[in-house]
Amino acid sequence: MPLSFPVPDLPPGLDTVRREVRAFLDGARKAGQFRPRVNSWLAYDPAFSRLCGEAGWIGMTWPKAYGGQERSALERYVVTEEMLAAGSPVGAHWIADRQSGPQIIRHGTDAVRREILPGIVKGEIYFGIGMSEPNAGSDLAAVASTGTKVEGGWKLNGRKIWTTNGWRVQYVIGLFRTAPRDEKARHAGLTQFVIDLSTSGIERRPIEDLTGAKDFSEMTFDDVFIPDSHVLGKPGQGWELVTGELAFERSGPERFLSVFPALAAATSVTDGDRSDSREIGRLVAHIGALRAMSLSVAGELQAGRLPNVEAALVKDLGNAHEQETPEVLRKLSAGGPMLGDYGYEHILAEAMMAAPSFSLRGGTPEVLRGIIARGLGLR
């Protein structure tokens, strides 16, 4: 199968929504409601999420019946890229808006849609991704946490790790083994559940990372009852659902704009040195190419296709760009990274500390390249 990156027809009105979201962000920045930062889609700020909800920037494409506006995926794309480029703290609602809400719309029961989607749209309900376990990261089919059928629902047991913001969000979509593991069909027997994290039997603890941030978490499940209404799709369909979810997770502008605020800040502090300009220009050109590929995947998703291989390629190239950017910037004449007063050096220091994680979250290069090779028939 050759890779395919058709350029989507951009609907009219994109410039209007871009102007609107820029005006919103300018206003919020001037009012002191946020300070630009790198990796801002991990920055957990419920007050800012509620502002986004009030302004209509969450769940934009979702059905009106659940609080959405039925706008196009490309309009949403413009909003998300402007939010990231501005370094705004969209982390609280990011996962719910990007993948959990769409997953519930596609595969959830009407009861769950009504329970949850309007709260996400308002910027009040947040989600985590309950996939990874201590022995199931890249090899997600090794998931060992179990779901056992009981009267009216399921009992969940096991342990999840690395869930971004899992200790402070209200829900996760978790992947559990609901049929005994079969080595010949490793992807069978998995099920996704929508889990209210206030349910008894769940323990959560934050995990501190290199930067001192407590974004990660570990969650344990001890006989946690989840009603049948909170199963996504059909029991046993979990692998199919999770791979569909990953196409949404891997191809968005957050895969190449995480450190854009550092690049933007660099342009205002360099002293016009020609080699600085050449390096910055090269990085900006990369963003142009990545954006075209990412927009193409967004168009395919909007058309109802699942371009998993193309999404893996966007993520792999995007992560390479994001990891190269701080390395290039620190060699510019403007000076190196330094935590301290909030300014270019500080933003650059944050970018450098966050960069190692970019190629882990959402799939490592080795795993992504395996998917791409298989898609190209090379494996």
Ligand X SMILES: Cc1cc2nc3c(=O)[nH]c(=O)nc-3n(C[C@H](O)[C@H](O)[C@H](O)COP(=O)(O)OP(=O)(O)OC[C@H]3O[C@@H](n4cnc5c(N)ncnc54)[C@H](O)[C@@H]3O)c2cc1C
Interaction site with ligand X (CB under 6 A): 128-129, 131-132, 137-139, 162-164, 357, 360-361, 364, 366-367, 370
C-beta nearest to ligand X: residue? 137
User: How far is it, in rounded angstroms, from Cα 102 to Cα 231?
Assistant: 15
Q: Which is nearer to ligand X, 113 or 361 (CB)?
A: 361
Q: Which is nearer to ligand X, 59 or 91 (CB)?
A: 91
DSSP per residue, 15-36:
HHHHHHHHHHHHHHHHTTS---
* Distance, first Cα to last Cα, the chain: 12
User: How far is it, in rounded angstroms, from Cα 247 to Cα 82?
Assistant: 21
Least Å distance between CB 47 and ligand X?
22
Q: Which is nearer to ligand X, 104 or 332 (CB)?
A: 104
Angle at 362 between CA 223 and CA 57, to 5 degrees: 90
Q: Which is nearer to ligand X, 92 or 131 (CB)?
A: 131
Cα dihedral value 275, 280, 285, 289, nearest 10:
140
* Closest C-alpha to 251, from 21, 2, 3: 3
* Distances from the Cα of 286 to the Cα of 24, 104, 179, 265, 291, angstroms: 27, 34, 45, 17, 8
Least Å distance between CB 285 and ligand X?
27
What's the token pair of residue 210?
């290199």
Least Å distance between CB 162 and ligand X?
4
Least Å distance between CB 199 and ligand X?
19
Least Å distance between CB 359 and ligand X?
8
User: How far is it, in rounded angstroms, from Cα 34 to Cα 53?
Assistant: 16
Q: Which is nearer to ligand X, 86 or 129 (CB)?
A: 129
What's the token pair of residue 370?
């395996």
Cα dihedral value 165, 370, 139, 352, nearest 10:
-30
Q: Which is nearer to ligand X, 196 or 209 (CB)?
A: 209
* Closest C-alpha to 75, from 54, 61, 62, 89: 61
Q: Which is nearer to ligand X, 296 or 319 (CB)?
A: 319
Least Å distance between CB 21 and ligand X?
25
Least Å distance between CB 132 and ligand X?
3
